[in-house]
Amino acid sequence: MTATHCPYCALQCGITLENSGAQLVLSGRDFETNGGALCRKGFSATKLLEHPQRLQTPLLRQSDGSFAPITWDRALDLIAEKALSIRSESGADAVAMFGSGSLTNEKAYQLGKFARLALGTSRIDYNGRFCMSSAAAGTNKAFGLDRGMPFPLADLDDAAMILMLGSNVADTMPPFVRHLDTVRERGGLIVVDPRRSATAKLSAEGAGWHLQPTPATDLQLLLGLAHVVLAESLADSDYLAARTTGLDALRASVAAWWPERTAAITGVPAEEIRRTARALAHAAREAKNGGHPVYILTGRGIEQHANGTDTVSAAINLALLLGLPGTMAGGYGTITGQGNGQGGREHGQKCDQLPGYRKIADPEHRAHVAKVWGVDPEIIPGPGIPAVQLLNTLGTATGARMLMIHGANPVVSAPDANQIFAALRRLDFLVVADFFLSETAAEADLVLPVLQWAEEEGTMTNLEGRILRRRAAIAPPGQAKSELWIFSELAQRLQAPGTFSPDAAEVFAELKLASAGGISDYSGVNWEQLDQGAKIYWPCPEGSTISTDPAARNGTPRLFLDRFAHQDGKAQLIAVYAPVASPSKKISLVTGRLLEHYQSGTQTRRVDELAATSPDVRLEIHPSTALAHQISDGQLVEVSNQRGTTIARAKLSTDMRLDTVFLPFHFPRTSTANLLTDPSVDPFSAMPEFKHAQVSLNPIKGEN
């Protein structure tokens, strides 16, 4: 029996694997985020471990375009030869790396170290840039620290009210819903979403309510809510005076957003705006007087925009006006998506970051990490460029000529996917490490077979900032290897300075030293105590007392109770502005996830029962909108704009607004929603505009 965690979302649900020799049996276990429950993705996760399409040997592209197996020695020698040759001809930045929020902490750490020491490149970023970057930028601005949820998820269990914006947890992470049971019973779940999503329906079932704004107007809605709180003297003035700065500028920034003007832009009725602001303020006051807590939670729906950081700031501002963050009366949190979306952004995969959430441009931060690595700080490259720019410039005069991708499938998951295909095909050499031949791996010159979750040791950090042990339960198939081994072998061939251990426990020990004193300090975390089930939340500095008592929470389960992470100890209210303009009359496309699928679908599209339930891409469209475009239920439709065309089958649904259609982004080729998405990025986070694009709809005649 092996106790480990689900390979999918950032809940990191607890599971148990029993290897009888004949079969591998998976069951949920009584872990805090899931309480023994699992979603259908988690229950079917073992189906991928012995899947017939599993990669088991390195594959090299042949002159005719096909792949042929080669040995590991030949594959690693070839990578080293290509990297050295290209670096000699064009400089170190001509070789790039792209990582993932699905990698263990150890692999994320080693990937960043390998890029900067073995390759000597600044050109490194990861797919978390597409996921949590605006949330990270917003929380860093406000609080001085980015941890998705600065409190345990179980704190939601007693909530009186939760305002949830841009997150459909009922489909994306179903076990999360158990933490909403009480707030639903109390009629306090308020969901903001342009769709009547599964989560929005939960709010209505529990006597809560659903605000259904025009797409891309979440910022204006939040400014309108803040306006009501201030105009009606509902803010917590004592809290604001003692624990925040910037109130005067914030007051000026929301002055223009009275409810009627906000309603004209967002489509949310003015009385609903007032009702929501007043209800939140009343619940917050009650919470301060011994009542139940109040939370504001955000997800990708409001963050994956070119103004996503400002929208996160507006949500945090509302929480601060109510006096919630850093108290036991509630708080603000962002719902991390990828399995290690939290840990993956802490240990050096980001283009401007070193382990421990240190800044690569800070001399003191560089010196600390260089000492741990045993190198001169001068050889560590400076900041690189973020993901969209990194990918779109591949093969150009200013971009990389060689790219290594670990755990990502950008031809499905990146915006403006046609440009990503073109960029990858401009490369001199593309290496992809994966456990299936994903759509991106199919474009590679060399494919490396790597381990899945049940075959490797390591740690993950879930959406609460809790550090967890991932344990190996079975041997890997064929010649599949860990990225830690790959980096170790390549580092030797490249004569890299420093050490690159293939052992996860040894890498974790080094990660602890590198993170010591940083924002995300893991130096007091003990590998053996994690094995014994200790609940440990970062920051957990060296010398922390760790208990393995199941009731004990170690490290820092609740942030900001004494002070925020800015030098003055106060949170910063960030004044943000939004245009006062009438919404477009064109059709808006929003994208998102389905219950059955995960991320780019590389894994879940290969599980028969999941694929059978959602076998192809469906365009959700309101019946009246469909009628106006002469589209019938089940008909194939061309969804297009200046960037590309996606073909989807219409699914008529009154859950949609009349001006909005929805596509999931899990499907490849002509079904890829990201053929249509806008590569414009947020100026603070470099997050692309995934959640809003304008499209035209054309039924394909004679197709049903």
pLDDT at 189: 97
Provide the pLDDT for residue 334: 97
Contact call for residues 658 and 625 (beta carbons, < 8 A): yes
The tokens of 443 are what? 């474009």
In 193-303, at which residue ranges do the beta strands (DSSP E only) sit?
209-211, 244-245, 294-298
The pLDDT value given to residue 673: 96
Is residue 141 a contact partner of residue 309, using CB atoms and an 8 Å limit?
A: yes
Q: Please, what is the end-to-end C-alpha distance for the chain in angstroms?
A: 49
How far is the C-alpha of 541 from the C-alpha of 552, rounded, in Å?
17
Q: Where are the alpha helices (DSSP H) in 114-217?
A: 133-143, 169-172, 181-185, 198-205
24 within 8 A of 45, measured Cβ to Cβ: no
Instruction: Give which of 196, 182, 117, 175 is closest to 487, Cα–Cα.
Output: 117
297: β partners: 164, 333
Contact 135, 274 (CB under 8 A): no
Domains recognised in the chain with CATH numbers: 2-48 (2.20.25.90), 59-130+340-555 (3.40.50.740), 133-335 (3.40.228.10), 587-699 (2.40.40.20)
Run means of pLDDT, 10 residues per run, the chain, 704 residues = 94 92 84 94 93 97 97 98 98 98 97 98 96 95 97 98 97 96 96 96 88 96 98 98 98 98 97 98 97 97 95 98 98 95 95 96 98 98 97 97 97 95 97 97 98 97 97 95 98 97 98 97 96 96 95 97 97 95 85 94 94 95 97 97 97 96 95 95 95 96 70
Place of tokens 């440990």: 536
> Looking at the DSSP assignment, which residues form a beta bridge with residue 621?
652, 661
Chain-centroid distance of CA 25 in Å reads 29
pLDDT of residue 704: 58
* 3-state secondary structure (DSSP) of residue 272: helix
- pLDDT for position 461: 98
Cα-Cα-Cα-Cα dihedral of 335, 539, 472, 484, to 10°? 100
pTM over 0.85: yes
> Is 283:294 a contact under the CB 8 Å cutoff?
yes
List the beta strands (DSSP E) in 570-613.
Answer: 571-572, 587-592
